[in-house]
């Protein structure tokens, strides 16, 4: 077993993500209904069930939870939280609805506005990503079952390592959100003489591509919320990849008064 799996909090997050993944796939295999939330974003029974599962695990820890599907707590209360969970029960609901498999469960533990741990589970292929930022360790594990034990996760864990710089640049783009600013960013890289390839992925898998060395850079010049990025940032930070705000030129921070993120760039370069 990898050393970081001795952490009770990380174990809890992993178990929650696997169990949530199981609940998600039970809905995925049915003719599910799609609702629209107030902000017009889609919501399915999978989002609701996964959220219930994750909350049932995290309520037994010492820390409060910020989840996309929970009622949001006012900042007058949240500002006193030094440590909290940040959760997206189904990141990539649009990908879930399209049934392309590129959706994830995101669970992060944040302390003093920065990610400590991150867990991303891809239930359609039973792949788990997990990381401890302070120990600078990140892994992926391909599992046979959503019911896999922590020992089984450890036995299948493979160390993540970012890409070595080269003249060929893989830029991660979104399947659903390719903005004009992103296209301009790509053209700017090309003008420096680099060969550029676009790699498309949904959900927080874009962070995973950078952390595991399958891409170089992920520019996000479109809206995201804290629960979209916290787990991915933890996994990237653990392997030395920075997630930098275009607003401050510093790492993204969490449990802010406004849970909307600024634009950012994830880069292994």
Task: Looking at the structure, tell me whether residues 82 and 179 fall in a common domain.
Answer: no
Task: Looking at the structure, tell me whether residues 20 and 140 fall in a common domain.
Answer: yes
The predicted pLDDT at position 51 comes to: 97
Task: Looking at the structure, tell me whether residues 177 and 79 fall in a common domain.
Answer: no
The predicted pLDDT at position 258 comes to: 97
Share of residues in the chain with pLDDT > 70 (%): 98
Report the CATH number that the domain containing residue 174 is assigned in CATH.
3.40.190.80
Q: Rounded to two decimals, what is the model's pTM?
A: 0.95
Cβ atoms 227, 124 nearer than 8 A: no
Report the CATH number that the domain containing residue 121 is assigned in CATH.
3.30.540.10
Q: Please report which confidence band the pLDDT of residue 177 belongs to, taking 50, 70 and 90 as the band edges.
A: low
> What does residue 96 show for φ and ψ, rounded to 5 degrees?
-60, -45
Q: Pick the last residue of a domain from 130, 159, 188.
A: 159
DSSP letter assigned to residue 183: H
Residue 200 bridge partners (DSSP): 173
3-state helix, strand, coil in the chain (%, to 5): 35, 30, 40
Q: Pick the last residue of a domain from 131, 159, 187.
A: 159
Distance of alpha carbon 96 from the chain centroid: 15
HEC string for 225-239: EHHHHHHHHHHHHHC
**Residue 153: helix, strand or coil by DSSP?**
helix
Domain count, the chain: 2
pLDDT in tens, 7-49: 999 999 999 999 999 999 999 988 898 888 887 788 889 999 9
**The pLDDT of residue 176 is above 70:** no
Task: Looking at the structure, tell me whether residues 125 and 213 fall in a common domain.
Answer: no
Residue 111 burial by Cβ neighbours in a 10 Å radius (0-12, 13-18, 19+)? middle
The predicted pLDDT at position 240 comes to: 97
DSSP letter assigned to residue 15: H
Task: Looking at the structure, tell me whether residues 174 and 70 fall in a common domain.
Answer: no
Q: Pick the last residue of a domain from 159, 181, 202.
A: 159
**Cα–Cα distance for residue pair 52/75, rounded to 1 Å:** 23
Q: Which domain holds residue 175?
A: 168-267
The predicted pLDDT at position 175 comes to: 52
**The pLDDT of residue 59 is above 60:** yes
pLDDT in tens, 79-138: 999 999 999 999 999 899 999 999 999 999 999 999 999 999 999 999 999 999 999 999
């Amino acid at each position: 077993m990898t050393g970081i799996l001795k952490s009770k909090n990380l174990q809890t997050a992993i178990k929650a993500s696997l169990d949530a993944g199981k609940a998600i796939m039970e809905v995925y295999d049915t003719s599910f209904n799609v609702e629209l939330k107030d902000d017009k974003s889609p919501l399915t029974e999978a989002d609701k069930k996964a959220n219930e599962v994750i909350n049932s695990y995290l309520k037994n820890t010492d820390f409060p939870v910020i989840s996309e599907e929970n009622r949001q707590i006012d900042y007058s209360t949240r500002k006193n939280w030094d440590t909290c969970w940040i959760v997206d029960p189904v990141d990539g609901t649009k990908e879930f609805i399209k049934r392309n498999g590129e959706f994830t469960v995101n669970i992060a533990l944040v302390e003093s506005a920065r990610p400590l741990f991150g867990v991303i589970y891809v239930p359609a292929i039973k792949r788990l990503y997990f990381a401890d930022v302070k120990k600078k360790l990140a892994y992926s594990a391909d599992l046979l079952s959503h019911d896999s034990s922590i020992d089984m996760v450890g036995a299948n864990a493979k160390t993540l390592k970012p890409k070595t710089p080269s003249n060929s640049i893989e830029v991660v783009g979104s399947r659903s959100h390719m903005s004009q600013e992103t296209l301009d960013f790509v053209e700017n890289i090309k003008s420096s003489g680099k060969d550029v390839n676009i790699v498309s992925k949904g959900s927080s898998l874009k962070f995973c591509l950078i952390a595991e060395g399958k891409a170089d850079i992920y520019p996000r010049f479109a809206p995201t919320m804290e629960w979209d990025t916290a787990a991915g940032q933890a996994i990237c930070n653990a392997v030395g990849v920075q997630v930098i705000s275009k607003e401050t030129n510093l790492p993204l921070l969490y449990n802010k008064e406004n849970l909307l993120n600024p634009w950012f760039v994830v880069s292994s370069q």
